[in-house]
Structure formats: C-alpha cells, structure tokens
Structure 1
Amino acid sequence: MVVAQRKFQYEEVQTKEFLQKEKKTIEMNKKSKVKASQKLQIIVSIAVLVGLCIGMIFGYVQLTETKYRIYYLDKEARELSAQIENLKIELESVKKTDIIERQAKEMLGMQYPQKDQTVYLDMGDQPITALKEPAGQTTKTEKGNLLFLLKGIFVKMYALLD
C-alpha cells in the first residue's frame, strides 16, 4: 500500500508539474505572439531609422563637399592675392624714374642731349597769348620766315609740357 500511495503521489505531482509547464508554455506562446499591428509598427520604425541614417550621411556628404569647395576657393584667393602683390611690385618698379632711365639707355639707346644738341629760343617781346593762335590762321609771309619755324617748335614743346 505504501508503494501504491507513492505511485499515486508521484503521478499526482507529475500531472501538476505537467499542467504548470503547459500553462507556462501557453502563456509564453500568447506573450511571444506578436500582433500584425506591432509588426507593422516595428517595420515602420526600422524604415524611419534607416531613412534618418541615410539623411544624416547625405548631410555629411554635402558638408564635406562644401568644405572642399571652400578650401579650393580659399586657395585660389591666396594665389590671386599673391599675384596682385607681384603686380604691385612690378608696377612700382615701372613707376620709378631711375629704372625707366636705365631701360631707356639700355633698350632704346637713348641719352641725355649734349651742349651742341640743345636749342634755345628767343621770343623777344612777343606776349605768350600770341602762341595760342590756331595753326590754320597763318599768313603767307610767315610761312617762309625762320621765326615762324621757331614759333611752331615752341608751340609743340609747350603742348608737350601741358
């Protein structure tokens, strides 16, 4: 009888344990089953996250391209600034009279006039206003005159000085 009782208790304990395990598996199956709306929600969330990641990567690509453009424009600005400085230096060298004088002597073979090449004009008592006559109003007697030639030279030199 003791053996029968033990067998009965063993079966009773086993069935209780089996029922409890079965109950737990049923509860777990209910919990582990994901509803269709939850699946859709998960898929949409993942898609949104992927979209955000792609958007961030695209933003960084645009930022990097802009930085490269800025770098190259800055480099070009520095090169142009250096070129401007070189041109300013070259302009200063062209504006200096001693450099102009040296180039005139070396390249063009120019020289200062000597004593025998200098011509002096004597205007006498003629007023300076007489020099401002238009060139077309000369008379026939003046054309052959040495004074007329000297007057023409003086007018041309005076025009160069203006």
Structure 2
Amino acid sequence: MAEALDPILPPDIDELTRAVLEAACARELTLATAESCTGGLLASLLTDVPGCSHAFDRGFVVYTDDAKIALLDVPPSLLPHGGSVSQPTAIAMADGAIKRSKADVAVSITGWAEEVGDPERPGGLVHFACARRGGYTHHRQAQFGDIGRGPLRIECLRVALKMLQQAVAL
C-alpha cells in the first residue's frame, strides 16, 4: 500500500503501483518518469511504497516546452502549434528520460487537462510513451474528455502504470 497517497487514490491504482514496483525489483530494473500534465504525481506514487522505492531512479517534471527541451532533449521543432501534446513529443520525452537517467524503463505523459477553445487542443487528450533501454518505445494516445484535472491525472496514472507493467514484464 502506498503510504501518503493511498487515501486519495482508487484501490486499483495502489495495486498497479505495487505490482509494477515488485516486478521491477524482482527483475532488478529501475524506472524513470517524464511528466507534463500529471505534474510529478506518478513519480511521487512510485516512491510511496515502502520497500520498493529503490526501483525508482528519477522523475522529470517538464510542464513547459523549455523544460522538455532542456531536461529531455526534446527537439524544439516538435513543439510549436500544439506539438507539445503529440505522439512524437511523448516518444521524445520517454527516450530523453532513458538518455538522461540510469533507468531501464521510462514512461512519459503529456496532455491537455481541459478545453481551451481550440479544436486542435481538445481537453483530455493525452499522449503516453514507454521506453525500454536498448529496446522499442511504445506510444499510446487516450482521449478522456474534459473531465477535470484531478480525474484526468488519475486516469493518466492508470494508463502509465499499465504501460510500465507491460514494459517491465518483457
């Protein structure tokens, strides 16, 4: 059970977190996160399980385009005109987290939490990517709708943890 975050999370998130961390520990793998719209919530969750947090190497909270470029080497050409929430950016973020860490597996999350009045930027659109060092980077796109920041972040945790679970099992 996660200690600090457990009271606010659905039980399946807690179970997924424990399963991911236990599998990473059993395989001696380390994890990293590259988060935008979740603001570091996944990294916090992965360090909240007693006895397993050593499987977490580091997290990158890259909310701005400048942070994505500076911390994860996301090519600036990907980011204009809403490109910060896209498949190429999510993949570049996950690959950058692998490059800039000692982690074996990294997951990235980038999305728009709410509607901004632009049909090109629908609220609830999120791109995820999961990279395994020396392997393939898998992408997933989800459209959660304009459900609000809190519920969106919970849904993002669920997707990212499932992606980590699959990558760790390889």
State the TM-score, normalized to the length of structure 1. Answer: 0.16
Q: Which has the higher contact order (CA 8 A, sep 6+)?
A: 2
Q: Which has the higher helix share?
A: 1
Q: Which has the higher strand share?
A: 2
Q: Considering only CA atoms, is the larger Rg found in Structure 1 or Structure 2?
A: 1
State the TM-score, normalized to the length of structure 2. Answer: 0.16
